[in-house]
Amino acid sequence: MIDTNFTGPAAAMVAFAGVLRTQGHGRMVVLSSVAGVRVRRANFIYGSSKAGLDAFTIGLGDSLRQTGASVMV
């Protein structure tokens, strides 16, 4: 579940961010889940992987700030 919800998307996002940096514009839209905001005991693995994806996306967006590209969760 962690590979599916965090590792895979993070790797794809890093590759796509490189494309956006090169072209100097564009927006990456990342679909997440409210489960990442409030991780519950019953689905803590899913929730924590989504929370990690949310945090990664925010950091990636910050790294693209001066490039003309952006990221939206």
Question: Could you give the residue numbers annotated as active site?
Answer: 46
**Cα–Cα distance for residue pair 45/51, rounded to 1 Å:** 10
Q: What is the rounded radius of gyration, in angstroms, for the C-alpha atoms of the chain?
A: 13
